[in-house]
A and B are shown apart, each in its own frame.
Chain A
Amino acid sequence: GNSVTQMEGPVTLSEEAFLTINCTYTATGYPSLFWYVQYPGEGLQLLLKATKADDKGSNKGFEATYRKETTSFHLEKGSVQVSDSAVYFCALRGGTGGGNKLTFGTGTQLKVEL
């Protein structure tokens, strides 16, 4: 079945540092890929998505590129802010036999310090 693997956290960075959170997936066919973010005390929010190979999703300075050859969807941001502190979830939907449900990774906590 489908699965998503994320790098373990917490990841602690200084403000303005470069961020990479690794995400790889296992699925057959052509799933859609998502990054969700959960700020403290809040619900899950969609951050960005990509629906086909080589697509780049972007939002709020975050980017991720759908790499089918490496089955990866790594999240990047060039300069993080304290307000980016949150838990980030990589997820996939669809693919062959995957249906409409989202399959999530375990989440990566990001802490950004001044």
Chain B
Amino acid sequence: GAGVSQSPRYKVAKRGQDVALRCDPISGHVSLFWYQQALGQGPEFLTYFQNEAQLDKSGLPSDRFFAERPEGSVSTLKIQRTQQEDSAVYLCASSTGTGGGQPQHFGDGTRLSIL
């Protein structure tokens, strides 16, 4: 079966531009997560959806970051007025349920470079 799919794989934008990153989770997965991974670091949590409800957005670094999952499947992470410090790999993960032991399945990520 298909895994988590993210697009685009690479995105280059000029400082100040808006970007949108897409995540297609594994079909039927209830939970969806976004993480940000800086070079040489572990992923850091951004936000979490259970179906279409955004239950935790405590990791979003500023109000320039916005995520949605309107139909409980595909999700989009939008960054407005990008800054150089937004350069990172953005990872999406999904899992079947909400239990703590449920593994999260990751996509290959979108590498964002802000010039």
Contact = CB atoms under 8 A, between A and B. Distances in A.
Interface of A: 4, 31-32, 34, 36, 42-46, 49, 51, 89, 91, 93-95, 98-107
A101 to B, nearest CB: 4
B109 A101 contact: no
B1 interface: no
Given A43-B91, A43-B106, A100 B100 contact: yes
Given A43-B91, A99-B56, A100-B31, A49 B101 contact: yes
B43 A104 contact: yes
Given A105-B42, A106-B42, A93 B109 contact: no
B105 interface: yes
A102 B55 CA distance: 15
Shortest beta-carbon contacts, A-B, top 9: A94-B100, A104-B42, A51-B101, A43-B108, A101-B45, A44-B106, A32-B100, A32-B101, A46-B103
Given A49-B103, A93-B101, 7 more contacts: A42-B108, A43-B107, A43-B109, A93-B104, A99-B48, A99-B56, A106-B40
30 contacts: A4-B42, A32-B100, A43-B91, A43-B108, A44-B43, A44-B91, A44-B93, A46-B105, A89-B42, A89-B43, A91-B42, A93-B101, A94-B101, A99-B48, A99-B56, A100-B31, A100-B33, A100-B55, A100-B98, A100-B100, A101-B33, A102-B35, A102-B93, A102-B104, A103-B45, A104-B43, A106-B40, A106-B41, A107-B40, A107-B41
A60 to B, nearest CB: 15
A34 B100 CA distance: 11
A21 B107 CA distance: 25
Interface in B37-94: 40-45, 48, 55-56, 59, 91, 93
Contacts of B31: 100
B100 A93 contact: yes
Contacts of B35: 102
A87 to B, nearest CB: 9
Contact of B56 (A42, A100, A103, A105): A100
